[in-house]
Amino acid sequence: MKKFLVLALVLALALVFAACAPAPTPAPTPAPPTAAPAQPTAAPAQPTTAPAQPTTAPTAAPTTVPTAAPAQAVALQFWTAQSGPQDTALKKLAAQFQQQYPNITVTPTFQGNYSDLYKKVTAAIAAGSPPDLAIAYQNDVANYIKSGAVIPLDDLMNDPKIGFTADDMKDIFPSFIDKYPEFGNKVYSLAFMRSMQVMYYNADMLNSIGMTQPPATWNDLLKACAALVKGDVVCYEMPGGGDASTFASWVFSNGGNMISADGKTVAFDQQPGIDTMTFLGNLFTNKYAIVQAKAYQDQTDFSLGKVVFTFGSTAGLPYYATAIKQAGKVQNWGIAPGPHTTPNPVVDIYGPSVTVFKTTTAKQQAAFLFLKFLMSKDANAQWVQATSYFPARASTKDALTDFIKANPLYGNAYGWLQYGRGEPTQAAWNPIRNFIGDAMVTVANGKATPTDALKQAAQKANAALAGQ
């Protein structure tokens, strides 16, 4: 869930490409919509994945052989922002974990939305009584690090008895491992769930102009816009406050970065960022795009055949499917990575992670064992079926055959996890997201040139980085 500020699905962690990059994936073909729950009632402000009802029977309890189980009883408090079906799923997994480790009891406790959770954790830190582990967005974890309340996980990950094996590390997507450049590039949080920023497209409209695949380049997208925009049909509908995750995914797809390698200054004001903001400006100058009148209006308009492309989280898949089914206007639609100038597609992977607080050695080890369990193949598969997040491991797909068959668009997106990149982990990233969103709105309204709007956002962002 974007941190209740528009939930990054699946799933961010910086995905480090191998020296020999994989071959580009072919553009996906439209697939039937998946079953979905009711529409959300409030718009999140930070990446969020909405709960989805399971479409297949839960898998059996994981059968991982316990390693280094503690000799003494350990009770862990796990604070979360997961409610409803997600809370139920977490408690079920905690019970299964205790079957493997009878001496470890984990109590997941819902603490409200991510803002509420952050405030409660901060107060608990000040009182000297933090939880043992908690779900959090990376910018919040960075603040916990600054307060000295959480531990780096590198040693536990590398521990020969309870850590990850070499095979584990090959299996886990790099974008699920959060490294913090401003704190020695150490790992302070790990994720067992992520969302993905993707492009939703109306396949029927594209087919009407001879495009059998979604546009893979920015020029192809502009050509589609020029051919399809007429009457009340627009090409793109931007959220009312802008969308920093969409901007980040576009910058990544233009070969750029959001933050410098040392984490001290922004990088989105360099040429890839300028190209990205200029492209956005062109969409509005040519009247190919509009700004949403209200939250989630793009989903409604897409379902009515009034917008060709939208960009958003895979968390929206069930909601798009419901809206499209109810409207009965769109027959064929799909999702794809956004257009790109890079050799391979690039997708923004984001979402909350889990951090472990400074307590006792026994509790810290037990907390890591529980986090490792949540990232295991079978446990992660159960979580996916309850929530539609993306899992931490490539091998989890083997346990999701029926789920993917019932949710083919999710299955398409699974293959793009290898192309994932994560948003910055700096504490200042939260306000920086707002600066980017404001710049996007300014450009959309024609109140500043793309270059000037980006320059102003970068100045504010650099000040925030300097003061974090």
For residues 99-120, give the mean pLDDT: 96
Instruction: For residue 377, give both structure tokens.
Output: 């193949």
**pLDDT, average across residues 81-93:** 95
Q: pLDDT-derived band of residue 14, with 50, 70 and 90 as boundaries? A: very low
CA proximity to 179, closest of 80, 259, 244: 259
Domains and CATH numbers, the chain: 74-194+350-422 (3.40.190.10), 197-348+426-467 (3.40.190.10)
* pLDDT per position as a tens digit, 453-467: 999 999 999 999 998
In this predicted structure, what is the pLDDT of residue 50? 34
Q: Which of 4-13, 282-291, 410-419 has the highest mean pLDDT?
A: 282-291
Residue 352, both tokens: 């909350």
Task: For residue 192, give both structure tokens.
Answer: 């067992």
Which position has the higher pLDDT, 283 or 61? 283
> Exposed/middle/buried for 39, CB within 10 Å: 0-12, 13-18, 19+?
middle
Instruction: Check if the beta carbon of residue 236 is closer than 8 Å to that of residue 224.
Output: no
pLDDT, position 69 = 64
In this model, does residue 24 exceed pLDDT 60?
no
* pLDDT score of 102 more than 70: yes
pLDDT score, position 63: 40
For the record, the structure tokens of 303 come out as 């379902």
Higher pLDDT, 69 or 222: 222
pLDDT tens track for 351-374: 999 999 999 999 999 999 999 999
Amino acid 182: pLDDT: 87
DSSP-assigned beta bridge partners for residue 199: 311, 336
Read off the pLDDT of each residue in 313-332 and give the average, rounded to a whole number.
Answer: 93
User: How confident is the model over 333-347, as a mean pLDDT?
Assistant: 96
Is 80 exceeded by the pLDDT of residue 2?
Answer: no
Structure tokens at 342: 């890079």
Share of the chain above pLDDT 90, in %: 79
Cα 382-388-389 angle, rounded to 5 deg: 90
The pLDDT of residue 5: 35
For the whole model, what pTM was predicted? Answer: 0.78
Q: Determine the 3-state secondary structure of 85 from DSSP.
A: helix
Task: Give pLDDT, residue 60.
Answer: 41
Integer Cα distance of 293 and 248 in angstroms: 23
- Indicate the average pLDDT of the chain: 87
The pLDDT tens digits for 395-454 are 999 999 999 999 999 999 999 999 999 999 998 998 999 999 999 999 999 999 999 999
For the cut 50, the answer to whether the pLDDT of residue 300 exceeds it is: yes
What is the reported pLDDT for 71?
Answer: 72
Q: What number is the average pLDDT over the span 107-127?
A: 97
Confidence of residue 262 (pLDDT cuts 50, 70, 90): confident
Condensed to tens digits (0 to 9), the pLDDT of residues 216-241 reads: 999 999 999 999 999 999 999 999 99
* Rg (alpha carbons) of the chain, rounded to whole number: 21
Buried b / exposed e over 348-383, threshold 16 CB at 10 Å, is: bbbbbbbbbbebeeebbbbbbbbbbbbbbbbbbbbb
Over the stretch 44-64, which tens digit does the pLDDT of each residue have?
333 333 333 333 333 344 444
Provide the CA 198 distance to its chain's centre, in angstroms: 10
pLDDT score of 455: 97
Q: What is the DSSP string of 146-203?
A: HTT-B---HHHHH-TTTS--HHHHHHB-GGGEEEEGGGTTEEEEE-S-BEEEEEEEEH
How far, in Å, CA of 70 to CA of 22, rounded?
A: 42
Q: What is the mean pLDDT of residues 8-26?
A: 33
Residues ≥6 apart with Cβ < 8 Å to 22: 344, 418, 419
The pLDDT value recorded for residue 416 is: 94
The predicted pLDDT at position 10 comes to 33
Helices (H) and strands (E) in the chain, counts: 17, 13
Q: Is 271 exposed, middle or buried (0-12, 13-18, 19+ CB in 10 A)?
A: exposed
